[in-house]
Structure 1
Amino acid sequence: MSLGPTRPRPLAVLAATAVAATLLASCTGEPAPPRSTSSAAAPSRSPGTPAAQPTPRVAGAPAQLQALIERLYSGSDLGKAANADTTKALTGRTSRGSGGSGGSGGSDVPPGAEAALGSWFGTPIAVVTAGKDVSLAVGPTWKLVGGWWPSLGVDEAVVGGGPRWVLAVGSDARRGQNLERSRADTLQVIGTDGAGGGGVMGIARDLWVTLSTGGKGKINSAMSLGGPEAQLRTVRTATGLPIEGYAVIGFDGFIQLVDHQGGIRIVVPETVDASHAHIVIKKGPQTLSGKQALAYARERKTLRDGDFGRSRHQGQLLLAAAVQARLAGPEAVPGALISFSDVGVSDLSAEQMLTFAAGLYRLNPTKVGRDVAAGPFGWAGAQSIVVLGEQARRLFASFEDGNLS
């Protein structure tokens, strides 16, 4: 495993297209230095010979993160170096060894512990894996914000609770245009119920709703009128879901991210002639490049159900990305968030993003559903629209628990 920023993987890049802007609490006090691994006296050395440095307990971790993980496994009080949910879950945890409760406990860290480092819009983040344990931390003064620790007898995973929802937005901006002031070409709400289930809900972009900027209009016009915040408020009002935040990406950024992680492996249900891009995507197992994935996500004119089918394809891509990422493991998240930060925008904190992305690894694939908020066609003046009807309202209501399965 790489000890620096890791290669991005599909889930964190696409499905965790979901969170960002940072609030951090600081650690207090200086942690105790790592304890020697031997009770024997240190060997003598010649004058001027540098002292041997202790072997790091967490490969790739900076000193403060190293000390925090040692305190975690020794049973020490973490104080402000952990958020409230993590502190609650770790109450009464089992100490792993000779460090005991309150000890410095460097030797209590499981063998083979490694840190994958990254950042979310400039805020350092880390995923530390140790056997089946996963610790999620946010810097620069490192703080535990979640994870799961079966080796410490902790049954509960700390990933922000549930239900939770995030709005993934694909901007219609062309090269040179403002990413945040163009129409939303794609609207997908990603949800988790906090109990292993979740869902991906597409929203038809022509859905006629009340806009947060005033008046009525097509739901995807809110971003061009008031930016991503207006788009988020509009979707919240239309769906009734308290969506945490948004993540926005454009066409070029999407292509770059997909190509960087080696494509998206997907089973295409039927051949798609993406006429707008002059690309044919054949039925069956495929590994789609960035351009192919974008063509698959945007084609509607040749589909039997038009824009609804297009939204369905987008949901298929997100779920296919989730399956790949589950195989890659949560240690792939930090590098993926670096890549997204380079090409996208988001309003959620590093803690929100990291716990949401890691939480997707806790989902049971059989308990994740997919649907599209559709409706009958109609007219608003000269505009062809999709009417917000009972089908969409029932779907919104069924997603109130974060689960569409």
Structure 2
Amino acid sequence: MTSPRRPVDPVHAPTPQPGRVRLPRLPHAGTAGRALAVGVAVSVALAACTSEPSAPAGRSGSTTGSTSDPTGSGATTAASGVRVSGAPAPLAALVSTVYAGGDLTHTASPTAAKALQARKPATGGVQAIAKVGDWMGTPVAVVTAGDDVTLAVGPRWKVVGGWWPSLGVAKPSLGTGPRWVLAIGSDARPGQPLERTRADVLQVIGTDGAGGGGVMGMARDLWVPLSTGGKGKINSAMVFGGPQAQLRTVRDVTGLPVEGYVVLGFTGFKKIVDDQGGIPIVIPKTVVASHAKNMVIKAGPQTLSGAQALAYARERKTLPDGDFGRSRHQGEVILAAAVKAKLAGPIAIPAALTSFSRVGKSNLSAEQILTFTAGLHQLSPLKVGRGVAKGAFGWAGQQSIVVLGAEARRLFAQFRDGNLS
């Protein structure tokens, strides 16, 4: 059986060289092309950029009888005195078990069960609020009660993480060790597959598990060994082998055990940003987006619409440092979205994950994305840094490339603890 022919792009195809793959050719993008769905992590980190306010929740002074609301449309009150508003009955029962000090051996992930093992049962009534959504078809929920947060995954509900200061649990349970996720912005045009076009945005989002983190952009013209074989620009790996190949390439180049990926196209990005009311940001310097009919994004504090955020993150021709500056702008958008997410609170996560699932793709499980996204709420703004993996300009045949050098390798080494601050 012969392999399917790859599309070819005369602009980006390198001169054939021994041991090097031929980059794909795609139809000319024009003004609307090369659309950057910047910061897919934005959508994950937008995972909290909803305008829906989180209602106050806390301890109640009384215990009520046991009732249930299987639809989750009203409040569910468990016999233990844990009242959960907005939860289906099985989820409410699970939350009740958490606060009553019951056995979670079969209804919690190993890390969450370990964190909750030494908890102190609640001594009074508990009032909690649940929000339920879905991630790629799997139910997810965030339940808040005062300063406590419980993260759960369905359909057979189990606790996968959270933090419970009211129960004497000292540290959050949000997975183990430093964690990284690759955010990919697809260059797909209408009618093209989201996961088999160039990755025009590559941002690695990391957390160190101790309140610190970082956002690292990868210059798309980095000339590196591809996981699909040979050498090429780093963003071509997704064309040849999909987002899994792009993920493997980034892992190999950086040496970071990146957990998984999220992929978003430019239309989906704009929709998510607009649905969530825009992204508040401080623009350091006015940018004229040459590719977007010279749209002007003025310096200073403002809230960017989806179209403005996309234009700001796409622009490179008018920037003095070109693609490096564009990658820096993408990092700025991601961090601005993360700040908005933190202000909205973890209760907003399920709605945003549901929104992303309608327009994006990911190989992360519901447990992985829920605990990673919730972890963004544990970050201290003073302990989050950003950087761009760049290098010197060079040539591969007739195309301009960026040569991976010592500066980028130092950045990779610095990021091995999940923190760039």
Equivalent residue, structure 2, for 1:283: 299
Q: Deviations over 1:373-402 (max 9, x none)?
A: 010000011110000000100000100000
Aligned residue among 374, 380, 401 for 2:417: 401
Equivalent residue, structure 2, for 1:79: 105
Equivalent residue, structure 2, for 1:222: 237
Counterpart secondary structure, 1:394: helix
CA shift in 2, pair 1:17/1:129, >3 Å = closer
Alignment partner of 1:151 is 2:166: yes
> Which amino acid letter does the alignment assign opposite residue 248 of structure 2?
R
Q: Deviations over 1:97-139 (max 9, x none)?
A: 2xxxxxxxxxx5522x110110001100000000000000000
Aligned residue among 308, 313, 319 for 2:335: 319
> Which amino acid letter does the alignment assign opposite residue 37 of structure 1?
T
- Matched-pair identity in %: 69
C-alpha distance in 2 between matches for 1:265 and 1:241: 31
Equivalent residue, structure 1, for 2:17: none
Question: For structure 1, which runs of at least 5 residues remain unmatched after alignment?
Answer: 1-9, 19-34, 40-52, 98-107
Counterpart secondary structure, 2:416: coil
Equivalent residue, structure 2, for 1:64: 90
C-alpha distance in 2 between matches for 1:54 and 1:214: 55
Equivalent pairs, count: 356
> Which amino acid letter does the alignment assign opposite residue 351 of structure 1?
E
TM-score, normalization by structure 1: 0.85
Equivalent residue, structure 1, for 2:228: 213
TM-score, normalization by structure 2: 0.82
Alignment partner of 1:336 is 2:352: yes
Alignment partner of 1:14 is 2:43: yes
Q: Deviations over 1:213-234 (max 9, x none)?
A: 1000000000011110010000
Counterpart secondary structure, 1:276: helix
Equivalent residue, structure 1, for 2:270: 255
Deviation at 1:251, TM superposition (A): 0.7
Q: Deviations over 1:168-199 (max 9, x none)?
A: 00000111111111000100000000111000
**Does the 8 A contact of 1:16 with 1:353 survive in 2?**
no
TM alignment of 1:145-294, pairs within 5 A: 145-278=160-293, 279-294=295-310
Equivalent residue, structure 2, for 1:37: 64
C-alpha distance in 2 between matches for 1:323 and 1:11: 15
Aligned-residue CA RMSD (Å): 1.9
CA shift in 2, pair 1:199/1:172, >3 Å = same
Equivalent residue, structure 1, for 2:52: none
Deviation at 1:36, TM superposition (A): 7.3
Q: Deviations over 1:222-269 (max 9, x none)?
A: 001111001000000000000000000001000100000011110000
Deviation at 1:91, TM superposition (A): 1.5
**Does the 8 A contact of 1:12 with 1:325 survive in 2?**
no
Residues 77-86 or 180-189, more deviating: 77-86
CA shift in 2, pair 1:55/1:233, >3 Å = closer
**Does the 8 A contact of 1:70 with 1:109 survive in 2?**
no
**Does the 8 A contact of 2:46 with 2:338 survive in 1?**
no
Counterpart secondary structure, 2:84: coil
CA shift in 2, pair 1:12/1:72, >3 Å = farther
**Does the 8 A contact of 1:13 with 1:340 survive in 2?**
no
Alignment partner of 1:130 is 2:145: yes
Question: For structure 2, which runs of at least 5 residues remain unmatched after alignment?
Answer: 1-38, 48-61, 67-74
C-alpha distance in 1 between matches for 2:403 and 2:372: 32
**Does the 8 A contact of 2:119 with 2:167 survive in 1?**
yes
Q: Deviations over 1:319-355 (max 9, x none)?
A: 0001111100000000000010000000010000000
Counterpart secondary structure, 1:81: coil
